[in-house]
Amino acid sequence: MQLKSDATERRWKNSVRVLIGLTLALTLVARGAGAQTPQAEAKPEDSKPNEVKTTIQGIYQTFYIANVTQQTDLTDISTDLRNMLPKAKLYPMPSQNAISMYGTPDDVQLARKMIAELDRPRKIYRLAYTITETDSGKPAGTQHYALIATSRQKTVLKQGSKVPIITETFDSENSTPKSQVTYTDVGLLIEATVDGNQDGVGLMTEVVQSSLAEEKSGLGAQDPIIRQTSLNAISMLTPGKPHVLGSLDIPGTARKQEIEVVLEVVR
């Protein structure tokens, strides 16, 4: 009787072990399936739309040149940029005083730095010319002229008249002479170019005096004789200090003109 009871107990224990084993197996399978589901859903998260990287080949930029006084200034800056940035594309626009550029971000950054250094305001000067005339050593009058000149840019002053000169050409087809009228300036001409540098302010100037002579050329009344004297000078000036450029002798007379200039810095 005891043997039968022991056998029944062993079968019961074996059944419990089998049930426990099946329960553990099902639990492990369920956990494995649950772990795979998040991993499968995590794949789309690896490539988010706001993290897409775009390779930029170049960018566009327009630079406006503020201190251009003549077209050559814009041309010089454009040439400098082309030499320093050979791979960039540059398009000057003289009507807008601007330069359009297409290049890499590094090229655009370097171009911005170069333009900031090159596009500097030019200095403005005031030139006061005094022409003192003497006749046989006696004062005969004084004339004053003032010019506003920009650094490294020619400034011109003219005072006088335009004298007509008639010239004739021969028309070979009709065998008749044809008259043409040209005009020439007579009077005072002053040209000045100022250039400030480390050593001071340099002035390159030309003063021309012309007038009609009383005598005739003998070729005809339409062919006047024009007398002309000129003075070319290159000088270093000190602001506020008068500087004598030279003197002119008026041909055919006892008159003489002394030319003096005073330079002042406007800005």
Name all domains of the chain by residue range, CATH numbers in brackets.
Answer: 59-118 (3.30.70.270), 124-265 (no CATH)
Q: Mean pLDDT score of the chain, rounded to an integer?
A: 79
Rg of the chain over all Cα atoms, to the nearest angstrom: 47
pLDDT tens across 196-209, in order?
876 779 999 999 98
pLDDT given for residue 84 in this prediction: 95
Q: Give me the percent of the chain exceeding a pLDDT of 70.
A: 71
pLDDT given for residue 27 in this prediction: 58
pLDDT given for residue 253 in this prediction: 77
- Cβ–Cβ under 8 Å, residues 64 and 111: no
Q: Give me the percent of the chain exceeding a pLDDT of 90.
A: 44
Backbone angles phi, psi at 114, to 5 degrees: -65, -45
C-alpha distance from residue 139 to each of 32, 132, 242, 247, 256 (Å): 119, 8, 19, 14, 10
Q: Sheet containing 155-171: which strands, arranged edge to edge? A: 155-171, 176-197, 200-216, 224-237
pLDDT tens across 30-88, in order?
555 554 444 444 444 444 433 333 335 789 999 999 988 788 889 999 999 999 999 99
Residues 6+ apart with CB under 8 A from 195: 151, 152, 201, 202, 204
**pLDDT tops 60 at residue 4:** no
As beta bridge partners, residue 155 has 192
Phi-psi region of 190 (alpha: psi -120 to 50; beta: other; left: phi over 0): beta
The least confident of 52-66, 89-103, 149-163, 240-254 is 52-66
* Rounded Cα gap, residues 91 and 105, in angstroms: 17
* Rounded Cα gap, residues 240 and 249, in angstroms: 27
**pLDDT tops 90 at residue 25:** no
**pLDDT tops 60 at residue 100:** yes
pLDDT given for residue 39 in this prediction: 45
Which band of pLDDT confidence, cut at 50, 70 and 90, is reported for residue 28? low
pTM over 0.85: no
